[in-house]
Amino acid sequence: MDHIKALGIKFIAIFVTVFSLFGIFYNATLGNLFWISLLVTGISYLIGDLFILRKFGNVTASIADFPLAFLSLWVLGSLFLAEGIPIVTISIMAAFFITCCEPFIHGYIENRFGEGDEREDSRPLNQLQTEISEETNEHTIGNNEEDTDK
C-alpha cells in the first residue's frame, strides 16, 4: 500500500509537469500525456527510487533523477508526439521541474520504507573523528609539576 501511495505522489508531480509543459507548447492530447507520465513514473520509481535511493541516498538519487527524467521524456516524447517537433528543450525544462520535486518524494519514501537499511556505508562523506583534551601551555605544565612535588 505504501508503494502505491509513493507511486501516486510521484505520478501526480510528473503528470502536472508533463501536462503543463508538453500540453501548452505542443498541444498534445491528454491520452499521450497520460502515457508519457505513467511510463516516466514507472522508470523513475524503479531505477531512481528503489535502486539508487536505497543504495546511495537522497542527494545522489536526486542528481541521478535529472538525466533519467530527461532521457525518458525525450525518448517518450519523440515516440508519442508528432515527429519533427524539437522535444529536447521542453524535456530539459520538465526534467528540471521534476528533479526539484524529487527530494521531497525521496524523503517520503525514506520515512515509509526505512532509512538506508540496505546502504553499504551509512556514514556521511568526509566524517572525521576528533580527540578532545584539555589545553595546556608551558606555564601550567611547570606549575602542575611543582604542585605534585610538594
pLDDT, one tens digit for every residue, the chain (150 residues): 778 998 999 999 999 999 999 888 887 889 999 999 999 999 999 999 889 988 888 899 999 999 999 999 999 988 888 766 788 888 999 999 999 999 999 888 888 876 544 445 555 666 667 777 776 676 766 665 555 555
Q: Which domain holds residue 85?
A: 2-113
> What nine digits make up the cell of 48?
531512481
Residue 19 falls within a domain, yes or no?
A: yes
The per-residue pLDDT for 142 is 62
Tell me, what DSSP letter sits at residue 82?
P
Q: Considering the domain boundaries, does residue 127 fall inside one?
A: no
Please indicate, yes or no, if residue 122 is contained in any of the structural domains.
no
- What is the number of structural domains in the chain? 1
For residues 10 and 16, give the distance between their C-alpha atoms in angstroms, rounded to a whole number: 10
- What was the pLDDT predicted at 116? 46
Note whether residue 45 is domain-resident: yes
What are the distances in angstroms from CA 77 to CA 28, 100, 108, 124?
A: 10, 20, 28, 38
Q: What whole-number distance in Å separates Cα of residue 21 and Cα of residue 7?
A: 21
Residue 42 in any domain: the answer is yes
How many angstroms separate the CA atoms of 150 and 148, rounded? 6
